[in-house]
Amino acid sequence: MIGSNPVVELEAVRKDYPGGVAALAGVDLTIRSGELVAIVGPSGSGKSTLLHIVGSLDRPSAGDVRIAGHDVSRLSDRELSALRARHLGFVFQSFHLAGGVTALDNVADGLLYGGLPLRTRRRRAAEALERVGLADRMSHRPHELSGGQKQRVAIARAVVGEPALLLADEPTGALDSASGEAVMALLHDLNAEGATIAVITHDHEIASALPRQVRLRDGRIVTDTPATAVVTQ
């Protein structure tokens, strides 16, 4: 269910690179709690730059960015790192799991920043793995898992801290079609449980299956089909 509280607010955001290249050319975007949104566009459209801005991995050249109520321009680099750790979860195409480490501890490592004791981190990691359907794979290491299972571990790691926003960057890009469909079904399930999710993709078929699509071209939003079921929280 979509709430009235914005998780992401971008106003007139630009990102310029040397040589006069405008990766983002005045983007306005609001993502509210409980949304499942696709950010879609071809290579060079600006979607990766938008991911970096929304994920507080980079700062805009101009414009205002608020993430989970925090004005990014007012935060130091250290405070931005804390913002990412507390409010954002990331899922990438290449999984980024630690080799030789069990699924349980790969997920538990997602809670390191919070300073929780190991027993608590592992308990919460086990709950997250159960949530993504991997209760029977907790002791497995990445080389013992399929691609789809690796991505489920990565999703569990991203959601274990209950972030305000989950950013999934081409989450099916390294998977076969069946595994990709299973991962997208999982993201739908997590959203139904209340997670706010943005899926960054070049795949129009994936985007069209999500309730909202934000389409980018040449650093600008060219279409936005917002979901309409907004409720006051």
Set out the domains of the chain in order of their start, with CATH numbers: 6-225 (3.40.50.300)
What is the mean predicted confidence (pLDDT) over 23-37? 96
Is residue 68 within 8 A of residue 164, CB to CB? The reply is yes
Is residue 79 within 8 A of residue 71, CB to CB? The reply is no
Pairing mode, strands 6-17 and 62-67: antiparallel
Q: What is the DSSP string of 58-95?
A: S--SEEEEEETTEEGGG--HHHHHHHHHHHEEEEETT-
Alpha-carbon span 188 to 143, nearest angstrom: 27
Helix (H, G, I), strand (E, B) or coil at 117: coil
> Does the structure show a pLDDT above 50 at 229?
no
Question: Residues of the chain with pLDDT > 70: what percent?
Answer: 97
pLDDT of residue 230: 42
Q: How confident is the model at residue 231 (pLDDT cuts 50, 70, 90)?
A: very low
> Does the structure show a pLDDT above 60 at 233?
no
pLDDT of residue 227: 62
Question: Residues of the chain with pLDDT > 90: what percent?
Answer: 89
pLDDT of residue 114: 79
DSSP for residue 106: H
Is residue 132 within 8 A of residue 75, CB to CB? The reply is no
